[in-house]
């Protein structure tokens, strides 16, 4: 297990799914954490006591985000890592660009991309003051390909996450701050609740993956832990697919 004792991380989307999996893993590895989500605090975090500072907040509100970081810095005195995990995938409402309601487009862009700007603006000065650090941002494998059943706002916003991450990697390398993204493939999280109880669909999806299974929130958390850790100290500006081999699967 990697040891993050004495380090502090800020993690968005910590109320469930990938964010909660990463939060739990970081806490188990000894880190203190600022955990943010619009959802209520999960009971699973209670065992970690004061090291799990959970603030229920709207990440689209920059003032609220700044206040959360200020509270965490007062409590922990430093910031070493930022993980932007929060995001939405709105099946049915998010569709092709020619059909989508523009209010839905704006909401998805705000939640998936603009909130990343909010957290980065707060986190980077604190990481620089701590002597450096690392950021990881959740994008998606889907932005690399088209889709006959599109979620164009989702794909475009997640492409923006990767573009911004690369720019941050160059901008802040001189401060010892790294920035990378993780590209999940088909991963079982609450975002995929449409498959709940549909064993046949889950089986068909798993069969389409070269490793013959869907990913888990823990798979994504493990990749994030690696990119945040000193084991990845010479890695910045990359997009890491965690997809069971989907990206390199030959066309039948």
- State the catalytic residues: 154
Give the residue from 26, 13, 40, 236 showing the smallest Cα distance to 112.
Answer: 13
Q: Provide the β-strand partners of residue 240.
A: 182
> Running DSSP on this structure, what letter comes out for residue 213?
S
In this structure, the strands spanning 52-56 and 32-37 are parallel
For the chain, list the strands marked E by DSSP: 8-12, 32-37, 52-56, 81-84, 133-138, 177-184, 187-188, 215-216, 239-242
Give the residue from 32, 57, 224 showing the smallest Cα distance to 135.
Answer: 224
State residue 172 phi and psi, 5-degree precision.
-115, 10
Q: Provide the β-strand partners of residue 96.
A: none
């Amino acid at each position: 297990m990697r040891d993050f004792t004495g380090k502090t991380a800020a993690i968005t989307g910590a109320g469930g799914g990938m964010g909660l999996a990463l939060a739990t893993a970081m806490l188990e590895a000894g880190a203190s954490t600022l955990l943010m989500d619009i959802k209520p605090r999960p009971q699973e975090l209670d065992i970690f006591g004061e090291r799990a500072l959970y603030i229920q907040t709207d990440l689209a509100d920059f003032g609220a985000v700044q206040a959360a970081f200020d509270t965490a810095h007062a409590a922990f005195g430093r910031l070493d890592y930022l993980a932007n995990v929060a995001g939405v995938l709105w099946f049915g409402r998010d569709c092709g660009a020619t059909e989508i309601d523009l209010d839905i487009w704006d909401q998805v862009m705000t939640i998936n991309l603009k909130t990343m700007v909010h957290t980065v603006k707060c986190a980077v000065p604190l990481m620089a003051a701590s002597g450096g650090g690392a950021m990881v941002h959740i994008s998606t494998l889907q932005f690399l390909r088209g889709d006959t059943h599109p979620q164009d706002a989702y794909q475009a916003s997640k492409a923006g996450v990767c573009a911004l991450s690369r720019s941050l990697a160059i901008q802040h390398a001189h401060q010892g701050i790294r920035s990378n993204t993780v590209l999940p493939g088909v991963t079982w999280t609450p975002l995929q609740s449409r498959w709940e109880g549909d064993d046949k669909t889950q089986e068909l999806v798993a069969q389409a993956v070269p490793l013959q299974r869907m990913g888990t929130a823990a798979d994504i958390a493990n990749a994030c832990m690696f990119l945040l850790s000193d084991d990845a100290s010479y890695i910045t500006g990359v997009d890491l697919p965690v997809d069971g081999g989907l990206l390199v699967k030959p066309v039948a």
